[in-house]
Amino acid sequence: MRRSVAAAAACIRLALGVCLGLSTAIAQPALRKSPYWMDVERERATLMLELSTSGQVSAQLKHDEQLFEARDETDGRVHALTFRGLTPATSYRYRLELPGGQTLGGTLRTAHASTARRARFAVYGDNRSDPAAHHAIAQAVDAFEPEFVLNTGDMVYSGGSVDDWQSFFQEARTLYAHVPLFPVLGNHELYPRAAGSRLYRRFVRTPLAAGQTEAYYAFDWGPVRVLVLNSNGDVAAGTAQRRWLDSELARARADQVPHLFAALHHGPFSSGYHGPNLRLVAQGLEDALRDAGVELVFEGHDHLYERGEAAGLKYIVTGGGGAPLYTVDRAPAYRLAFVPVHHFMGVLVDGERVTLEARLADGSLLERCSYVPGEPFVCADGSARGPVRGQQSLLHFYLHMAAPWIGLLIATLVFALWFWRQRRRHG
């Protein structure tokens, strides 16, 4: 009898536990994408997240006596909470309220004012394909303590895959919980085009001008202004992007911006497998940037580290965030350093001087070079040149890439021949 009563009581407790567990799960949807910061400027910031199920969220941002609130009344999964009227160069703490009373907290620091002389940020890209490598890079970037991160594109292998986007934000969740992300649109974000564009606009926010919907934009951080271009589109005279670029270049001259950088995925310079974007070169992009006083261009697309200078226009190819490495080195005259390795760039601006640190996934230094506008790079040994390790020819690279497929084709032909002879023998 006692055993029966005890068993019945246990069943009741189990049933209550299951019911309470279910009600808690329903009341408190799990986070699918942890909070991450985008579109952060001097007076504005957007906190984004994704729930596992639909629900409403709100957040508070606080500094001393300043309190800002944002609420997303949309009963959906992806939420973008935008705060306005913030103070430049100010550290805030946020409190995020999720459905069911669940709360999360974290920090944010807004962009420096234009009068600031210093900035510290990180650049990397092409982290698709290898989540573990991307995770290691993201941890190393976080340890560098950047004020923001510029990603040179191909954040995902397929822009139309929700799983790929989930992997990107999951592997870098600690970093982007407190460091703003400024993305460049890569070609893989658009695969397949319709679905890729839709998910990009769903998970990404950038500092677009009023009414603008394109994937090019500009942002300021202290003494730095970055012009983010869409290399998937055209920059020929008369196109919308070229008109925008010409306007931004003129605005930068009028504002006397101390350091003007450009960023795009597939740019006018590269010694690697893909090489330079000849379409954009033919459309006059290289000359337009150089003539307008852009001092440094950040690129991705080729999975490697490269540094160079072409007629006064400096560039960095940083596509070593996790994608398969490319060892092809075309060795043009403007190339100064070339290493196929997973890495990120640490950029330190101090007055006129800009210091570039290429760092590996463990945080160790690959090379450190600096310059002041109008003068050449100066690296550790006093010269402008750095390490060069890629020497593979295009033909060798193609044969290496095709080797598994050639082996599969040969095996298929051998099996087909054996099968045909067996049928002839027994037929």
Question: What residue segments make up the domains of the chain, in order of their start?
Answer: 31-109, 118-379, 399-427
* Inter-residue contact 206 to 228 (CB < 8 Å): yes
pLDDT at 405: 65
pLDDT at 396: 54
Please determine, for residue 20, whether its predicted confidence score (pLDDT) is greater than 50.
Answer: no
Tokens of 107: 């920090």
Sign of CA dihedral 143, 148, 154, 155: positive
Q: Which of 102-106, 213-217, 245-249, 369-373 has the lowest mean pLDDT?
A: 213-217
Please determine, for residue 160, whether its predicted confidence score (pLDDT) is greater than 70.
Answer: yes
pLDDT, tens digit (0-9, with 9 covering 90-100), for 106-157: 999 999 999 999 999 999 999 999 999 999 999 999 999 999 999 999 999 9
pLDDT, tens digit (0-9, with 9 covering 90-100), for 384-412: 999 999 765 555 555 555 556 667 777 78
pLDDT at 283: 97
Q: Which of 29-38, 107-116, 261-270, 303-312 has the lowest mean pLDDT?
A: 29-38
pLDDT at 413: 83
Whole-number percent of the chain with pLDDT over 70: 88
> Average pLDDT in the 180-205 region?
94
Q: Which of 87-91, 246-250, 296-300, 329-333 has the lowest mean pLDDT?
A: 329-333
Whole-number percent of the chain with pLDDT over 90: 78
pLDDT, tens digit (0-9, with 9 covering 90-100), for 29-84: 589 999 999 999 999 999 999 999 999 999 999 999 899 999 886 778 999 999 99
Chain-wide mean pLDDT for the chain? 89
Q: Is 153 left (phi over 0), alpha (psi -120 to 50) or beta?
A: left
Q: Please state the three-class secondary structure of 168-205 as a single string.
A: HHHHCHHHHCCCCEEECCCCHHHCCHHHHHHHHHHHCC
Same fold, 31-109 and 118-379: no
pLDDT, tens digit (0-9, with 9 covering 90-100), for 342-366: 999 999 999 999 999 999 999 999 9
> Average pLDDT in the 191-207 region?
92
Amino acid making up residue 92: Y
Superfamily of domain 31-109: Purple acid phosphatase-like, N-terminal (2.60.40.380)
Please determine, for residue 10, whether its predicted confidence score (pLDDT) is greater than 70.
Answer: no
pLDDT, tens digit (0-9, with 9 covering 90-100), for 325-341: 999 999 999 999 999 99
Q: Which CATH number fits domain 118-379: 3.40.50.450, 3.90.550.10, 3.30.70.580, 3.60.21.10?
A: 3.60.21.10
Q: Which of 33-42, 208-217, 233-242, 345-354 has the lowest mean pLDDT?
A: 208-217
DSSP character string of 279-348: HHHHTTHHHHHHHTT--EEEE-SSSSEEEEEETTEEEEEE--SSSPP--B----TTEEEEE-S-EEEEEE
Binning pLDDT at 50, 70 and 90, where does residue 91 land?
A: very high
Name the nearest CA neighbour of 308 among 226, 386, 231, 381: 386
Please determine, for residue 240, whether its predicted confidence score (pLDDT) is greater than 90.
Answer: yes
